[in-house]
Amino acid sequence: MSKDARFDYGWVVVGAGALMTCVGFGTMLSLAVFLQPISDAMGWSRAGVSAAATLDFLCMGFAAFAWGALSDRFGTRIVVLAGSLLLGLGLVTASQAQSLWQFQLCFGVLIGIAAGSFYAPMMALASAWIDKHRSLAVALVSAGMGVSPLTVAPSASFLITAYDWRFAMLVIGIAAWALLIPASFLVRPAPQGSSVAIATASHAPQAEWTVAQALRTPQFITLALAHFACCAAHSGPIFHMVSYAMVCGIAPLTAVTVYSLAGFSGLGGRLLLGVLADRLGAKPVLVGGLLVQALSIATYLAVAQLGQFYALSVVFGLAYGGVMPLYAVLVREFFGARIMGTVFGAVSAFASLGMALGPWAGGYVFDTFHGYTWLHAGSFAIGLAAVAVALSFSTKRQPSLDLDRAAA
């Protein structure tokens, strides 16, 4: 294989990763569209249905660390193939659930474990294939999360309206198998000895980290806490965006377009902030994006009209979408490629815990106060905390002596 062919195939891997994050996260986040139809049809509380999303993110978090370690050891293809099979299984079985606990088990546990197999392993693999435009490459893999509200959510809404929620979820499950299983076979390891591998090695940290050493560093703790707070801040407003718009009097299908616009804007944010990070550095771009995210969440306290929702969706989507890939860039720059799957999987686990908080909290707030004011106020405060933590991240590496002491 020629040098140019190797480089070009890296972008094929990036494309496969974007498709996987689109379908994987799209199916999870589509529960926002299913929330009211399932609650109305089955008589389950919104908090009970929302708990499936909480389980999704909890299971995805624990699974992400395991999937990342497995991808470092056995390769990424087998990991994403297993996740693809499990994702479709979770959707198909959830569509046939007769009780709330069955739905929470199938949609919350199976789909959460499956989704964890895509993000961290494919982000690590993309950063190994692409060096010169690494921030853009991981942004494109993450961009699948931004595309999902434009594809999975509207498809689910159409199928629910035309048929019912069970049929819609069954069709999405079968479609996930049809798309992801073939895409898994496009995944290849980055070639050893290529210009990409050489470039990657030349930019690796001077010290060779072990996983145990990496997980004890202040830098890992800072990134994990920042990612947790970031996701805890935006997960509630995102998941309950459709429901909040409907509470404000917006028609259901129109409310879905508000959610879809935020997702489309998130796609642009990933690309924009990815390019800016390649030029300005990942940390300052991350801090700026987190600040815009927090201010956008606070603005939800003052919006009620459709035009206002659309305008805020653009800004909010740019911010929350744009910051997500930057954590992977910082992990890669500080800890290197050799253990990136494991370390970023661990960081993603904390992010998933943050994502798990929002859906449940939003459902609880709505069931208790019949509104979302306290959800947005609390999310704003957590968003400001994310800014403060990200500001404290230090890019200064420990000398090898410190590493030896940490290992002792």
Please report, for the chain, the start and end positions of each structural domain, with discontinuous segments joined by +. Answer: 3-187+196-398
Q: Confirm or reject CATH 3.30.360.10 for domain 3-187+196-398, answering yes or no.
A: no
Q: How far apart are CA 174 and CA 171, in angstroms?
A: 5
CA 237 to chain centre: 15
Least confident segment among 176-185, 258-267, 308-317, 395-404: 395-404
CA 19 to chain centre: 13
Cβ atoms within 10 Å of 284's Cβ, excluding its own: 13
**Which residue would you say has higher pLDDT here, 141 or 5?**
141
Written as one letter, the residue type at 302 is: A
Quick one: which of 182, 187, 179, 176 has its CA closest to 87? 176
Q: How far apart are CA 104 and CA 90, in angstroms?
A: 10
Q: What is the pLDDT of residue 216?
A: 86
For residue 334, the SS3 value is helix
Q: What is the pLDDT of residue 5?
A: 44
Q: How far apart are CA 181 and CA 84, in angstroms?
A: 6
Question: 14-42 burial by CB neighbour count: b if 16+ within 10 A, else e?
Answer: bbbbbbbbbbbbbbbbbbbbbbbbbbeeb
Q: How confident is the model at residue 177 (pLDDT cuts 50, 70, 90)?
A: very high
Cβ atoms within 10 Å of 2's Cβ, excluding its own: 7
Quote the tokens at residue 393. 């991240």
Q: How confident is the model at residue 380 (pLDDT cuts 50, 70, 90)?
A: very high
Average pLDDT estimate for 301-309: 89
Write phi, then psi, for 305 (nearest 5 degrees): -100, 155
- Compute the residue count for the chain: 408
Quick one: which of 80, 69, 349, 70 has its CA closest to 211? 69
Written as one letter, the residue type at 295 is: L
Q: How far apart are CA 250 and CA 135, in angstroms?
A: 37
State the Cα angle at 274 between 397 and 134, rounded to 5°.
60
Q: How confident is the model at residue 402 (pLDDT cuts 50, 70, 90)?
A: very low
Q: Tens digit of pLDDT for each residue in 56-70?
A: 878 887 888 888 888
Q: What is the pLDDT of residue 194?
A: 46
CA atoms within 13 A on the CB side of 334: 28
Residue 180 has pLDDT above 90, yes or no: yes
**Which residue would you say has higher pLDDT here, 5 or 309?**
309
CA 137 to chain centre: 15
Torsion from C-alpha of 12, 73, 142, 217, nearest 10 degrees: -140
Quote the tokens at residue 50. 């929302």
